[in-house]
């Protein structure tokens, strides 16, 4: 199942910078693990914002929920999820 996930990262101005750097490093490691597994298929930075647009390929809504809420930066994120399905004109058979 494919989902578009929009993540806006909102960090309080007074949050400890060292703790935030540690969270960012943990987020990057988790992202790369999920990317290698094919679960986090794509990510793009939204120009001019601390935001990204991502494509996830998961088995269920529950899997996506657990994955998103387990991200190190999740406590600082606003998340919007949109379910996707294959477009009939797509050339990509794995767009399911
Ligand atoms: O930088 C972001 O948008 C948040 C994030 C998601 C994966 C990652 O490495 O950082």
Q: For residue 56, report the phi and psi dihedrals to the nearest 5 degrees.
A: -110, 145
Domain-embedded: residue 8: yes
Domain-embedded: residue 92: no
pLDDT tens digits for 37-60?
999 999 999 999 999 999 999 999
- CB-CB contact of 79 with 68 (8 Å): yes
Query: Is the pLDDT at 95 greater than 90, yes or no?
Result: no
Q: What is the CATH number of the domain that holds 39?
A: 3.30.70.1060
Give the mutation target among 11, 24, 33, 46 for probing the ligand 1 site: most ligand atoms within 8 A of CB: 24
Domain-embedded: residue 55: yes
Q: Is 48 left (phi over 0), alpha (psi -120 to 50) or beta?
A: left
- The structural domain count of the chain equals 1
Work out the mean pLDDT of the chain and round it to a whole number: 96
The interface pTM score, or ipTM, of the predicted complex is 0.95
The CB of 6 under 6 Å from ligand 1? The reply is no
Domain-embedded: residue 58: yes
pLDDT tens digits for 65-77?
999 999 999 999 9
The CB of 7 under 6 Å from ligand 1? The reply is yes
Query: Is the pLDDT at 96 greater than 80, yes or no?
Result: no
HEC profile of 24-44: HHHHHHHHHHHHHCCCEEEEE
Domain-embedded: residue 32: yes
pTM of this structure: 0.94
């Amino acid at each position: 199942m494919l989902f578009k996930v929009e993540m806006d990262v909102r960090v309080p101005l007074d949050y400890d910078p060292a703790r935030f750097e540690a969270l960012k490093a943990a987020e990057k490691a988790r992202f790369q693990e999920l990317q290698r597994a094919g679960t986090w298929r794509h990510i793009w930075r939204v120009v001019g914002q601390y935001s990204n647009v991502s494509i996830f390929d998961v088995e269920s809504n529950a899997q996506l929920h657990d994955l998103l809420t387990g991200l190190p930066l999740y406590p600082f994120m606003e998340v919007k999820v949109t379910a996707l399905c294959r477009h009939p004109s797509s050339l990509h058979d794995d767009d399911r």
